[in-house]
Amino acid sequence: MLSSVLLEASLTYGVAALGAGVAALAAGIGIGRIGGSALESIARQPEAVNDIRSSMILAAALVEGAAFFAMVIGLLVVLIIK
Amino acid sequence: MANKINTFKHFLLILTMLISSFASFASEPTDNEPNANSTVSNEKVEDKVHEEGGFNAGKMILEHVADNHSWHLFGHISISLPVIVKTDKGIEVFSSSHFGHEGEEQYKGANYTYALHEGNVVVIDSQLGGIDEVATSSLSDFSITKNVAAMLFSMLLMLWIFLSVAKSANKNRGKAPKGLQSWIEPLIVFVRDDVAKPSIGKNYERFMPFLLTVFFFIWINNLLGLIPIFPGGSNLTGSISVAMVLAAFTLLITFFVANKHYWRHVFAMPGVPIPVLIILTPIEILGLFLRPFVLMIRLFANITAGHIISLAFFSLIFIFGEMNVGLGLGVSVLSLVFTIFMGALELLVAFLQAYVFALLSAIYFGAAVDEGHDVNHHHDHETVSAH
């Protein structure tokens, strides 16, 4: 009984960490694509660098927000199960 | 195409391996259930001893990130902050030093006996000695906690900065900026030209006071949070309640300035058939509240994550130092380098979060006051779709 409870807790930690990792992976892909296309478009049109930069930061922030949802949920799982 | 399928197969394979390793991990100890109990309880006792004697990184990090009733300076020295509680019998004010250094002592006030339980003030039942649930539920805590004290300090700092900048801006009208003014003025121009003007358009000036306030409040408090010594180091912008209030301002201002075009696009998107509207309108209404919610989560999680990372790098020194002093010394060099790198990154994040918060607020205001381009042409929804 006790061992199964403990195991469940450690499994929760593992799954929470895995969830945070997957979210970071997805956000990394997203932000990488944003940065890559921004670099490409700056190379094509260097005079538009300011507009591209601010749109890039905005898009990256939106992707990041989604990743932070996952992180906060992971934190909640760990802190509540504790 | 074949290449893509191949990659997908690999991905599936890795995923299956991951999941199956979890499954085997879960099922392993159930095979010897009778013996498992004793070994596990032994381990638990050892864990407890380790927690009491040794260094607990998780506990340390969470204590530093969370709000507190005293402001820890260094070693065993901390500033006691006033505790203000309102119960059903009235308001009581006393110093948090009555709770002792570790918050383990009880304080006998005029109405009740108070104690700290997991960082919260609770009422102690004088007869039984436990927590008095009924009286605790009536208790509201208005204490000057660490975050409140840090916010009061940053308010004084910002008042000093901006009053002196305003004074010198008046004096140097038409001339080159001087002193502190030459630091703040480019930032104000940046918020005006890169945040407010492109996202709000004409009439941007009525939103400038809020955008500037929120930008500088977040930025200066982020910077103060990065300073490890007093009066910095509190996790103010990384506290979810502060982030919530800031996001709530954005929500309320959007509601108050929104014109009929905005509400029409929310409740009955023009040119959309009614069956689709039944699905679309709830989503749009949810979106109204989701946007400030994401603003809140983004600020809170970004700043808290920054604090946790730098504290975790420092914890590495003590974790390895417990194994071996030499190992701790060796790791300290590495962790210092990492902390400096993360600190530089956090300086960027501190600015970026203030910028993003102001920019997204400006975009929401811009969508709310957008007049629409043509009354007969209703399919221009770009400005509304930014979540």
Q: What is the pLDDT of residues B101-116, one digit of tens each?
A: 766 777 777 777 787 7
A58: in domain: yes
At B61-96, the pLDDT tens digits run 877 788 878 787 777 777 778 888 887 777 888 887
Q: B341 vs chain A: nearest CA distance in angstroms? A: 19
pLDDT (average), residues B46-54: 47
Interchain pair B359, A6: CB under 8 A: no
pLDDT (average), residues B189-215: 90
Question: Nearest Cα to B316, choosing from B43, B40, B15, B57?
Answer: B57
A13: in domain: no
Residues contacting residue A46 through CB under 8 Å, at least 6 positions apart: none
pLDDT (average), residues B309-319: 86
Amino acid making up residue B113: T
Most confident of B11-20, B212-221, B274-283: B212-221
A22: in domain: no
Which domain covers residue A58, as residue numbers? 34-76
A65: in domain: yes
User: What is residue B75's three-state secondary structure?
Assistant: coil
Residues of chain A neighbouring B354 (CB-CB closer than 8 A): none
- Residue B267 tokens read as 């409740």
Residues of chain B neighbouring A14 (CB-CB closer than 8 A): 22, 25
Interchain pair B356, A6: CB under 8 A: no
Q: Are B387 and A62 in contact (CB under 8 A)?
A: yes
State whether residue B287 sits within 8 Å of chain A by CB: no
Interchain pair B22, A11: CB under 8 A: yes
pLDDT at residue B1, rounded to an integer: 47
DSSP summary character for residue B236: S
At B331-348, the pLDDT tens digits run 889 899 988 998 898 998
Query: Is the confidence at residue B4, as pLDDT, over 50?
Result: yes
Chain B: residue whose CA lies nearest to A51: B194
State whether residue A36 sits within 8 Å of chain B by CB: no
Residues of chain B neighbouring A18 (CB-CB closer than 8 A): 18
Query: Is the confidence at residue B308, as pLDDT, over 80?
Result: yes
Q: Which residue, among A7, A25, A55, would best test binding to B if mutated, counting the most B CBs under 10 Å from its CB?
A: A7
Query: Is the confidence at residue A41, as pLDDT, over 90?
Result: yes
pLDDT at residue A35, rounded to an integer: 93
Domain count along chain A: 1
Chain A: residue whose CA lies nearest to B28: A7
Indicate the length of chain A as a whole number: 82
B382: Cα within 13 Å, side-chain hemisphere: 3
pLDDT at residue B326, rounded to an integer: 86
- Residue A58 tokens read as 């905005």
Query: Is the confidence at residue A24, as pLDDT, over 80?
Result: yes
Query: Is the confidence at residue B293, as pLDDT, over 50?
Result: yes
Interchain pair B298, A11: CB under 8 A: no
ipTM: 0.73
Angle at which helix B240-257 crosses helix B274-323, to 10 degrees, equals 160
pLDDT at residue B374, rounded to an integer: 47
pLDDT at residue B208, rounded to an integer: 93
Instruction: Work out whether strand B120-124 and strand B77-80 pair parallel, antiparallel, or are unpaired.
Output: unpaired
In chain B the first and final C-alpha atoms are separated, in Å, by 33
A60: in domain: yes
User: Rounded to whole angstroms, how far apart are CA atoms B204 and B193?
Assistant: 10
pLDDT at residue B10, rounded to an integer: 62
Nearest to B26 among A2, A11, A18 (CB): A11
User: Rounded to whole angstroms, how far apart are CA atoms B299 and B319?
Assistant: 30
pLDDT at residue B378, rounded to an integer: 46
Query: Is the confidence at residue B31, as pLDDT, over 50?
Result: no
pLDDT (average), residues B12-38: 43
pLDDT at residue B48, rounded to an integer: 41
At B129-181, the pLDDT tens digits run 777 777 777 778 888 888 898 999 999 999 999 999 998 888 888 888 888 88
Q: A70 vs chain B: nearest CA distance in angstroms? A: 10
Percent of chain B with pLDDT over 90: 20
Question: Nearest Cα to B96, choosing from B66, B158, B40, B141?
Answer: B141
A42: in domain: yes
Q: Which residue, among A11, A18, A29, A68, would best test binding to B if mutated, counting the most B CBs under 10 Å from its CB?
A: A68
Nearest to A68 among B26, B198, B298 (CB): B298
pLDDT (average), residues B260-270: 86
In chain B, residues 8-67 whose CB comes closer than 8 Å to chain A: 18, 22, 25-26, 29-30, 33, 36-37, 40-41, 44
Interchain pair B29, A7: CB under 8 A: yes
At B114-130, the pLDDT tens digits run 877 777 788 877 777 77
pLDDT (average), residues B351-377: 82
pLDDT at residue B42, rounded to an integer: 42
Residue, of B383 and B175, whose pLDDT is higher: B175
DSSP summary character for residue B99: G
Residues of chain A neighbouring B40 (CB-CB closer than 8 A): 2-3, 6
Residues of chain A neighbouring B302 (CB-CB closer than 8 A): 64, 68
A20: in domain: no
A69: in domain: yes
State whether residue A61 sits within 8 Å of chain B by CB: yes
DSSP summary character for residue B374: B
Q: A41 vs chain B: nearest CA distance in angstroms? A: 20
At B206-247, the pLDDT tens digits run 999 999 999 999 999 999 998 887 777 788 888 889 999 999
Q: Which residue, among B356, B357, B360, B382, would best test binding to A if mutated, counting the most A CBs under 10 Å from its CB?
A: B356
